[in-house]
Amino acid sequence: MTTISARTPVPRLKKSLGQHFLHDDRIARKIVAAADLRPGDPVLEIGPGGGALTRHLVEAAGRVTVVELDGRVLEGLRAAFGDCVRIIHGDILKTDLSALADRLGVGRWRVIGNLPYYITTPILFHLLDHRDRIQDALIMMQREVAARLVARPGTKDYGIPTVECGLHADVEVLFAVQPGAFVPAPGVVSSLARVRMLTEPRFPITDEVHFRRLVRGTFGKRRKTLRNSLKIFLDADPPDTPAGIDLSRRPEELSLDEFTRLSNALRNVSPEVR
C-alpha cells in the first residue's frame, strides 16, 4: 500500500468553475472507504483540486488517473504524488473516457468525483454514455440532485435523470455531507451517491437515441398529458394506447418499464423519428 502524507496547496477559487474543495479528512476517508477499492483498481478521479481525496485513493489503489480542468493545481498534484498520479489536463465533459481507457490499457474505470454542482447532471449523462468502460461511479452532488436519481414515479423529483439513470445503472444514496466539509462552504447539503453501471439496459430497448429523445421531450412538457406532449414530439397524433399505455397520464406517472415499452412502440410505428 502506498502512503501519501502531503496535501497540495489550494489556489484561489474560481467562481466560474463552481469550486468547493473538500477539506474534511474524516469525510475524505469515509468516501474512499465507501469505494471499497483494491490495489490495482483503475481509479479515475474527476476534479482532484487540492488532493484531499486523491491521497487516500492512492493509498488504496496504488495509482490514480485524474482529470482536472484548473491548470493552477497541476504542479501541486505532481509535486505531492509524483508517478502515483497520472494527470489529464482537460474538461471531463470533453474527455472520451472509452478512448482514454483504451490508451491506458484499462478495462472498466472506478470513477470518483466531488463534482461542481452546476454541471453534475451533464457529467452524469457523460458517464452513462461511456458506461461500457465504467464499473461504477461514486459522486458527491447536491442532495436534491441525488434525491432525483432515486425518486419514485408520481413524485415531483421523478424526471429525466431518474429515468435515464434507471435504465443503465443501480443508484444508491450513501450519506449526506454538511457544508462545513468544504471550502468555501456551499449553501446546500451534499450527498454521496453510488452509480453502478449495468452491463445491459434494465429493460429491452429498441433504440436508445429515440428513448432519450422521448424521455426528454415528454418531461420537457411535464404539465401536459402524454397525448399532448407526444403530439409535439411526433409532430403527429400518437396512436391510441401504444404498448397499452393510457396517454391521458403525465410523464412522471410512468414507470421505467412503461417508458421503455412506449419508446419501443413509437419507434416501431415512427421509424423516421430520430
pLDDT digits (tens, 9 = 90+) for 187-224: 899 999 999 999 999 999 999 999 999 999 999 998 89
Per-residue model confidence (pLDDT) at position 191: 97
Residue 9 falls inside a structural domain: no
Q: Are residues 148 and 229 in the same domain?
A: no
Domain count, the chain: 2
- Which residues, other chains included, contact 13 with Cβ-Cβ below 8 Å and sequence gap of 6+? 19, 21, 184
Cut 0.85: pTM above it = yes
54: in domain: yes
Task: Answer yes or no: do 60 and 93 share one domain.
Answer: yes
Q: What is the dihedral of CA 142, 147, 150, 153, to 10 degrees?
A: -140
What are φ and ψ of residue 133, in 5° steps? Answer: -115, 20
191 & 247 share domain? no
**The predicted structure's pLDDT at residue 93:** 96
Same structural domain, 247 and 126? no
Helices (H), 203-250: 208-219, 226-234
Q: Pairing between strand 134-142 and 190-197? A: antiparallel
Task: Please report, for the domain that includes residue 263, its CATH number.
Answer: 1.10.8.100
Of 160, 175, 197, which one is at a domain's C-terminal end? 197
Give me the pLDDT at residue 7, please: 52
4 falls within a domain: no
List CB contacts of 248: < 8 A, sequence separation 6 or more. Answer: 225, 226, 227
**Is residue 10, in this structure, part of any structural domain at all?**
no
Q: Give a yes or no: residue 67 inside a domain.
A: yes
Range of the domain at 125: 15-197
Asked whether residue 202 is assigned to any structural domain, the reply reads: no
Using DSSP bridges, classify how beta strands 109-114 and 134-142 pair: parallel, antiparallel or unpaired.
Answer: parallel
pLDDT tens for the chain, residues 1 to 274: 333 444 555 555 555 445 677 889 999 999 999 999 999 999 999 999 889 999 999 999 999 999 998 888 899 999 999 999 999 999 999 999 999 999 999 999 999 999 888 899 999 999 999 999 999 999 999 999 999 999 999 999 999 999 999 999 999 999 999 999 988 888 899 999 999 999 999 999 999 999 999 999 999 998 899 999 999 888 888 998 999 999 999 999 999 999 999 999 998 665 454 4
DSSP H or E stretch at residue 143: helix 143-149
**CB-based contacts of 94: which residues, under 8 Å, 6+ apart?**
none
Residue 130 phi, psi (nearest 5)? -110, 25
Residue 59 belongs to domain with CATH number = 3.40.50.150
Could you tell me if 52 and 136 lie in one domain?
Answer: yes
The pLDDT score that the predictor gives to residue 22 is 87
Does 244 lie in the same domain as 127?
A: no
* Together in a domain, 86 and 193: yes
Angle value at C-alpha 21, between 181 and 142, nearest 5 degrees: 65
Are 115 and 240 within one domain? no
pLDDT score recorded for residue 98: 97
Residue 49 sits in the same domain as residue 110: yes
Specify whether the CB–CB gap between 59 and 3 falls below 8 A. Answer: yes
For residues 228 and 129, membership in a common domain is answered with: no
Strands 64-68 and 85-89: parallel
Question: Each residue of 29-63: pLDDT tens digit?
Answer: 999 999 999 999 999 999 998 899 999 999 999 99
